[in-house]
Amino acid sequence: MKLGDLTELAARNLREAVLRNSLTTLGISVGVASLVALLSLGVGLQQLVDRSVARAGLFDTVSVRSRQSAPFGQPGGGRRNPRDAADSAPPRPLDDAARKEIAALPNVVEVNPEIRFTAEARREPISQLVMVSGMAPSSQSSGTLDGLSGHFFSSPDAEEAIIQGDLAKRLVDAGQAPNSLLGQEITLRFAQRQALPPPSEQAPTDAPNQAVGPDEEAMGFSIVPSEKKFLVVGVTPTSESGGQVGFNNSGMYLPLAVAEKLEVVQQADLRNMARSSSGEGTRYAALNIRASSPTAVAQIESSVTHMGFAAFSLIDVTRNLRTFFAIFDLFLGIFGSLALAVASLGIINTLVMAILERRREIGVLKALGAADRDVRQLFFAEAGVMGLAGGLFGVLLGWGIGRAIQFATMIYLKRQGMNPPNIWSVPWWLVLGAIVFAVVISLASGIYPASRAARLDPVEALRYE
């Protein structure tokens, strides 16, 4: 029999026992709906995490530290990446030469030093300790500045600051909004490195040196308190609203070039002091490499470690995260499929009942020339039509359930004062996969009834009353 005739007869047969077949189809729909609803939440959560990390620009960032200076326990420090196990390159200082060498690597867009220091932000009469970071112009599009009020730095050399909403709250007068800080000046007080005066300007060697102490001599620089005013041009949202994303969070951001010029004492300086051989020239605490795409990160990481540096990227962390989500989705899929498995028993039951009811009809069909194959296909088609209808309706139902969960989550999170993220996603492959899965399960459920119907002896079937 041709497919069109099969489908037509199957649809007609299904219409005859409309209540029973509708209930069976509804069972499939519920199974598919539970599968779609659970997986859409799993996929949505995964996408939420992926989106957050990707928008923060962390997937295309490699953090580089010198193996000499990176202590155990710090990312890329004493712990070596498994990929670096075979690497025997000797540790090298992270200096200007290294920066240039890294910048010349393929797929490297830019290499910026990591400038992070603690300072005191003051707006009379209020003052607050704050972590300050240098921010490269390319970070403008990153998720760190999501929801920014005001604007990004007007130029790479502008003496401007973008401050975090929570810090802004503390610096404004009581009752004022954090954004009221926009256009106002803030004084930053920090520890500055100051070069030692040349030996000729120092006191004679036989007299005690009043200006430079022995400790400063040993360090190669002196530390002096310094102050500078910055114009607030941007305020990021408070941390509860998702403004703080990524591992480079700070209370205040300055243009990277400006932050570099401040000559602030950083952790690396203290580390260098602790080491016996500090060497000459600029040494960076860390360099942040921006890759042309997340796919280039692994290769850059490998090249950097072969150069003798410790490299770390969030790809290493998210690899485990992806494994977690794969297992999470698998379990959601299994739980969703359980309902579909129960529904498949309904299909078997319905079709076996149909064989009993239509025994005589099967006999007539065979007497008129239906082959065993035709009868088998007819029952398969009925199972397939139920599966298809159940799959389609189930996807709609699952979509609705997912929307309802998303809606309820939104209300709940809003009541908690949080900005509700989209935790629900129904990608096309899930829609298609769920429908195909429903049809396949239905066809598999139809195997036994269809074979039983095909095997019916026509003479016996025609005698059946």
Which amino acid is located at 274 in the chain?
A
> For residue 67, how many other CB atoms are within 10 A of its CB?
20
> Least separation, in Å, of the C-beta of 454 and another protein?
9
- In the bound state with another protein, the residue whose beta carbon lies nearer, of 7 and 180, is 7
CB 225 within 8 A of CB 189: yes
Compute the chain's Rg from CA coordinates. 34
- In the bound state with another protein, the residue whose beta carbon lies nearer, of 18 and 85, is 18
> Least separation, in Å, of the C-beta of 24 and another protein?
19
Q: Which two tokens stand for residue 293?
A: 């795409």
Q: Nearest Cα to 340, choosing from 7, 27, 5?
A: 27
The 3-class secondary structure across 121-166, one letter per residue, is: EEECCEEEEEEEEEECHHHHHCHHHCCCEECCCCCCCCCEEEEEHH
- In the bound state with another protein, the residue whose beta carbon lies nearer, of 2 and 415, is 2
Dihedral angle, C-alpha 344, 346, 352, 355, nearest 10 °: -100
> Least separation, in Å, of the C-beta of 384 and another protein?
18
Beta strands per DSSP E along 38-113: 61-66, 108-113
- In the bound state with another protein, the residue whose beta carbon lies nearer, of 371 and 440, is 371
Q: 3-state class of 119 per DSSP?
A: strand
> Least separation, in Å, of the C-beta of 13 and another protein?
9
Binding footprint of another protein on the chain (CB under 8 A): 1-2, 4-5, 9, 12, 16, 360-361, 363-374, 458-459, 462
Residue 160 exposure: Cα atoms within 13 Å on the Cβ side: 19
> Least separation, in Å, of the C-beta of 463 and another protein?
10
- In the bound state with another protein, the residue whose beta carbon lies nearer, of 101 and 374, is 374
> Least separation, in Å, of the C-beta of 441 and another protein?
28
> Least separation, in Å, of the C-beta of 15 and another protein?
9
- In the bound state with another protein, the residue whose beta carbon lies nearer, of 412 and 464, is 464
- In the bound state with another protein, the residue whose beta carbon lies nearer, of 65 and 366, is 366
Q: Nearest Cα to 404, choosing from 392, 414, 415, 412?
A: 412
